[in-house]
Amino acid sequence: MGKFEAIYQDLARDIDQGKYLAGSLLPSEKALTETYGVSRETVRKALALLTDRGYIQRIMGKGSLVVERPRYPVWLSTADLQSEFPQIPEVKPSSTLLLEQEETLPYVPFQALTKQPLGPALVLHRLFLRRLGSSPLALTHHYLPQQSPPSSPASFLHQLALEQATPDDAQQLKLRVGEPVVVVTSLLSSADGRPVLYRISRYRPDRFRFLTGGALKV
């Protein structure tokens, strides 16, 4: 995770938890550079991401205004998305592991999927590039809790959102930065309620189709 993404996570968490209320201003760019020990350019990248995700509005001469964030979650069925690949005999699906490292579970957007407060938790992060034939389909992030033994998922929560492509999305999915991507955020839990897997799949919009019968297909 880059420095600007970590700052974004911190500020988004503070807004979600009510430290900064709608109508209030975030600390100035200068204050944030001093707090995090980073350059002003890094702070501006974090603020730009907060703007893109609907947390703040930049107002010239005033600063970063926290705005109301109306949320309209689209909840999918409780069916697990175990196979998000379409069944196309002539096209072979594949996955390439791009990253595997220990890190802290991102607060945003998983807090929206549980009533339990999410604190800092060490997870194993695996990032996959998924393809159909030679065409990129999705970037999928798996976050595996370190403290939980392996277990088969028994319940599932999924949330659907539309976001702008990040530079990583653009590079791996052959998009332009700012183009839309379909984001499916999932929380898979065991029978006793323990998280088994946190997952974020970021799809090319032209390879994604939502069906109301509880299935996600491309």
> Could you list the residue range(s) of the whole structural domain that residue 36 is in?
3-66
pLDDT of residue 142: 94
Last residue of a domain, one of 27, 50, 66: 66
Task: Compute the 3-state secondary structure of the chain and give helix, strand, coil in percent, each to the nearest 5.
Answer: 20, 35, 40
Q: Could you tell me the two tokens for 64?
A: 């970063």
Phi, psi of 156 (to 5 degrees): -145, 140
Residue 23, SS3?
Answer: coil
In this prediction, residue 212 has a pLDDT band, given cuts at 50, 70 and 90, of very low
Residue 46, SS3?
Answer: helix
Last residue of a domain, one of 46, 66, 86: 66
Q: How many helices (H) and strands (E) does the chain have?
A: 4, 11
Q: Rounded CA gap, 205 and 162, in Å?
A: 9
Last residue of a domain, one of 47, 66, 85: 66
Give per-residue pLDDT as tens, 107-133.
877 887 877 777 778 899 999 999 887
- Tally the domains of the chain: 2
Q: Is 188 exposed, middle or buried (0-12, 13-18, 19+ CB in 10 A)?
A: buried
- In CATH, what number is assigned to the domain containing residue 7? 1.10.10.10
- Residue 91 is inside which H or E element, if any? none
The pTM (predicted TM-score) of the whole model is 0.65
Decide if 139 contacts 129 (C-beta within 8 A): yes
Whether the pLDDT of residue 48 is over 50: the answer is yes
Q: Rounded CA gap, 143 and 191, in Å?
A: 19
